[in-house]
Amino acid sequence: MLFSTTTRRRLSILATACLISTALPVGTALAQKTKTKPAPVAEAASPAVATSISVDIPTIEAVGSNVDDATLRAILSGALVENAGALAGLTASSITIPEITLDTTATIDGETSQTTVTFADIELTDIDNGVAASILLSGVSVDAGDDGVAEFGQLSAANFDIGGVLAVYGLVDSAQTELETIYTDFSFAGGTLEAPDVTCTLGGMSAAEFKARPLKHSLPEIMALAEAIEAQEDRAPSPEAVGAMMRVYADLFTAFETSPVEFEGFDCAGTDDEGQSVSFTVAGMATGGMRPGIYPSISMEGLDITVENDSTVQLGSLTIEEIDFSGPIAAVNAAPQALDDAWFAANARALVPAFGGFSVSDILIDVPNPDAEGERINASIGAFELALAAWRNGIATQVRTSLSNVVMDLPEDTADEQLRQLIDLGVTSIDAGFALDLAWSEAEDAIVINEVSMTGADLATVVLTGTIINATETLFSIDVDQALAAATALALRDLRLDVTDAGLTDIVLASVAAEQGSDPATLRPVFAGLAEGTVIGLLAGAAEAQKVGGAINDFVSGSARHLTIEMVAKDAAGLGLMDFMAAEDDPSLLIGKVNIDATAK
C-alpha cells in the first residue's frame, strides 16, 4: 500500500472536481452566477450527501453571435436541454471568456469540503452552424484547500462540432447514422497535482481525430434508466431493465471511433503509511484507435515504482492487446427484450469478448521476502507474452505464451525441496523460461502442438511437439455435453521430444562423483550403460529398441549433446483415451501401437 487512506481521499476529491469541471457545457463562456441543488432523486438515493455548485463568469465577449447572451447564459446555468437547438446552430466570429469559476461544496456524512475550479481564457473561433474552427482553453486550476491543488495546461482542438456532440446524446434531432468527425487535432499540455502526501507531474496528450454517431438512446433516457435501476436499491434489477441497459452498452461500443492517443506519462512522488518516500513513474503511454466494437490496445513504457530503502518494481514495457466485443454485441442485439439469469447462463460463452492477450518486458523486482525476515527477492524477467487469437464461441483456438530470461538468485537457506536440490548441485542462480504454442487447425480437425518447452541457461532445454487429431469444431460447442463428447474422441497421432544438454548432466555427475569419491569421467560410461539397458528392457520386443537405447547411451555418455525421440502411432486413428487408460496399469501396452525412433548428435 503506497499511499495512506487520507491521501487517497484527497486525490479522489481532486479527481471529482476535475470530472465536475468537464461536465460544463461547451459554451461555458456565458453563464451568470447561479446555484443549483441536487435533484430530488439524487437526494433520495443518497440522503447523507448534500452538494451545491455555483458558476461565476464575470465577462463574456461574443462577436457576431446569432445566439443572444441571455440564451447562452441560460445554457450555462443548466438549461442545456431546453436550448440545445440554439447551441447546435451557434454561429459567431468568436466567443471569448477570460475566466470561469466553479465552486463546489459537498457535505458527506457531516464532513464538508469545498473545491474551486477556475477555467482561464476560453476561446472559440470561426463558429459556423455549431462547428468551431478552433477551441482553446489556456489552463485549468483546482483548489481543494488543505486537500490539495492542481494546475493543468493548455487544451485545444480543431473543427469542434458542438451540434455533433449534442446529437450524439440525443439532445438535438439529427439524420446522421454514420460516424462523423467531432473534433480533430486534440492537444493537452499536461500539468501538476499537489496534495499533502503526493505530488504529480502529468505529461502532454494528443490525438488526431475523434468520430461519433448519435446514440440509439438519448442521454435523458440513459439517465432515467440508471436512476430506475439505482432506485431498486438491494433488489435485483428486473430482466427488462437489465436487457435495456445491456443494449445501451452494446450501442455505446459501436458509436465511437478514435485515432491513436499518445500520452507523455507522469511522475509522482509521495510518502507511504510508514513515512517512507515513494515514487511512481510512467515514461509514456499510448492507445490504439478505438473502432466500433473494438476496445483499443494500450501500451505503457518505463514503469518504475520505488519505495526508498525498501523495494523497487520496474517494467520496461507493457502492452494490452485490443478486445473485440463484436460477438457479445451481436448476442445482445439478437436477445429478447428481457434478459434473465437463464438467458445469461445459456449465452455465457457468447458474451466472452475476443481478447488479444498482453505482454511485458524487462521486469526487475527487488523486494523484501514476505516469508523470511531479512531476506530479499531479487529477480528479473526478460519478457512474458500471452497471445490469444481465432476465438470460437468464447474460446481462443490459438494460444501462445512464453516466459524468457527469468533470472533469480537461489536463497542459500531455502526450505523448498526443488530449489534445495539445485543448490546442492552447485547452482546458485537460474536463468529459465518456458513456452507453450498450440493452434487448432479447422481444415485438418487437429490441434497442433507447435511447442511446449522448458529452458534453463547453462542447464538444459526440453522441447515437445506433436499433433492431436479428431479435434472437430464440436470441441468448441456452446453445448457442454457435445463439447465433452468431442473431447473424449481426441487422439494423439505423433509426438517428438528434443532435449539439449547445456551442462546439467555435468553438474549432476559432478555431485554424484563427489559423494562416491569418484570422478565424472569414470561415472559417465557406467550411467550411460545403465540407461541404455533400462530403455532396451522397457522397449523389449520393439524393433527400434537397440537404436533408441544406443542414442540414449550416446547422450548420457556425453558424446552427444542433443537427443531426439520421435513417436508415431501405427494406427491412423492415433492413440485414444482408452489406449492411455489401459496403459495406466501396463505402460508396455503402448509399445506395440507406436513406431519409435531416436537420434543423438
Residues 459 and 596 in one domain: yes
Residues 156 and 259 in one domain: yes
Which helix (H) or strand (E) is 124 found in, with range? strand 111-128
Among 264, 381, 386, 250, CA closest to 321: 386
What's the pLDDT band for 560 if we cut at 50, 70, 90? very high
Write down the pLDDT at residue 521: 86
Q: Which residue range is the domain that position 490 belongs to?
A: 394-600
Please say if the pLDDT value at position 44 is more than 50: no
Q: What is the pLDDT of residues 521-540, one digit of tens each?
A: 888 888 889 888 888 888 87
Q: How far apart are CA 68 and CA 85, in angstroms?
A: 13
What's the pLDDT band for 462 if we cut at 50, 70, 90? very high
Please say if the pLDDT value at position 22 is more than 50: no
CB atoms < 10 A from the CB of 42, how many? 15
Please say if the pLDDT value at position 511 is more than 90: no
What's the pLDDT band for 301 if we cut at 50, 70, 90? very high
Q: Buried b vs exposed e over 115-131: b needs ≥16 C-beta within 10 Å?
A: bbbbbeebbbbebeebb
Q: What is the average per-residue pLDDT within 182-194? A: 96
Kindly tell me the number of DSSP H helices and DSSP E strands found in the chain. Answer: 15, 31
Torsion over CA: 551, 554, 557, 563 (sign): negative
- 210, 181 Cβ separation under 8 angstroms: yes
Pairing of strands 61-63, 49-56: unpaired
Which helix (H) or strand (E) is 421 found in, with range? helix 417-424
Residues contacting residue 522 through CB under 8 Å, at least 6 positions apart:
513
What's the pLDDT band for 541 if we cut at 50, 70, 90? low
Write down the pLDDT at residue 57: 80
- 443, 465 Cβ separation under 8 angstroms: no
Write down the pLDDT at residue 8: 35
How deeply is 572 buried, as exposed, middle or buried, from its count of CB atoms within 10 A (0-12, 13-18, 19+)? exposed
Residues 160 and 304 in one domain: yes
Considering only 1-15, 241-255, 393-407, which range has the smallest mean pLDDT? 1-15
Q: Does residue 233 sit within a domain?
A: no
- The widest CA-to-CA distance across the chain, in whole angstroms, is 102
What is the 8-class DSSP label of residue 451? E
User: What's the domain count of the chain?
Assistant: 2
Please say if the pLDDT value at position 31 is more than 60: no
Q: How distant is the alpha carbon of residue 387 from its chain centre?
A: 12
Highest average pLDDT, of 104-113, 236-245, 351-360, comes from: 351-360
Among 265, 282, 311, 268, CA closest to 8: 268
For residue 77, what are the CA distances in angstroms to 31, 83, 94, 141, 220? 6, 11, 21, 21, 18
Pairing of strands 198-202, 266-271: antiparallel
Write down the pLDDT at residue 18: 37
Residues 185 and 46 in one domain: yes
Q: Does residue 194 sit within a domain?
A: yes
Q: Does residue 131 sit within a domain?
A: yes
What is the 8-class DSSP label of residue 28? G
Q: What is the pLDDT of residues 307-320, one digit of tens each?
A: 988 899 999 999 99
Write down the pLDDT at residue 9: 36
* Amino acid letter, residue 592: G
Domain edge (last residue) among 297, 324, 351: 324
How deeply is 228 buried, as exposed, middle or buried, from its count of CB atoms within 10 A (0-12, 13-18, 19+)? middle
Residues 181 and 82 in one domain: yes
Residues 74 and 172 in one domain: yes
- 408, 381 Cβ separation under 8 angstroms: no
> Half-sphere exposure of residue 215, counting CA atoms within 13 Å on the CB side?
19
Q: Does residue 22 sit within a domain?
A: yes
Q: How distant is the alpha carbon of residue 210 from its chain centre?
A: 22
Residues 542 and 434 in one domain: yes
Residues 272 and 398 in one domain: no
Residues 52 and 192 in one domain: yes
Q: What is the average per-residue pLDDT within 269-294? A: 92
Highest average pLDDT, of 327-331, 458-462, 535-539, comes from: 327-331
Q: What is the pLDDT of residues 121-179, one digit of tens each?
A: 999 999 999 999 999 999 999 999 888 999 999 999 999 999 999 999 888 888 888 99
Cell 466553479 locates to 102
Domain edge (last residue) among 324, 354, 370: 324
What is the 8-class DSSP label of residue 509? H
CB atoms < 10 A from the CB of 146, how many? 8
Which helix (H) or strand (E) is 360 found in, with range? strand 357-368
Q: How far apart are CA 593 and CA 598, in angstroms?
A: 17
Q: Does residue 206 sit within a domain?
A: yes
- 293, 329 Cβ separation under 8 angstroms: yes
Q: Does residue 481 sit within a domain?
A: yes
> Half-sphere exposure of residue 83, counting CA atoms within 13 Å on the CB side?
19
Write down the pLDDT at residue 39: 37
Higher pLDDT, 28 or 267: 267
Write down the pLDDT at residue 78: 64
Over pLDDT 70: what percentage of the chain?
90
Domain edge (last residue) among 271, 296, 324: 324
Among 177, 168, 204, CA closest to 88: 168
Q: How far apart are CA 181 and CA 160, in angstroms?
A: 8
Residues 563 and 454 in one domain: yes
What is the 8-class DSSP label of residue 410? P
Q: State the pTM of this model.
A: 0.81
Mean pLDDT of the residues in the chain? 86
Q: How far apart are CA 530 and CA 528, in angstroms?
A: 5
Please say if the pLDDT value at position 26 is more than 50: no
Q: What is the pLDDT of residues 4-16, one digit of tens each?
A: 333 333 333 333 3
Q: Does residue 200 sit within a domain?
A: yes
CB atoms < 10 A from the CB of 496, how many? 16
Write down the pLDDT at residue 235: 82
Q: How far apart are CA 575 and CA 578, in angstroms?
A: 8
Residues 319 and 398 in one domain: no
Write down the pLDDT at residue 418: 67
Residues 23 and 134 in one domain: yes
Q: Does residue 312 sit within a domain?
A: yes
Q: What is the pLDDT of residues 84-93, one digit of tens each?
A: 899 899 999 9
How deeply is 184 buried, as exposed, middle or buried, from its count of CB atoms within 10 A (0-12, 13-18, 19+)? middle
Higher pLDDT, 184 or 100: 184
Write down the pLDDT at residue 508: 81
Q: What percentage of the chain's residues is helix, strand, coil (to nearest 5)?
A: 30, 45, 30
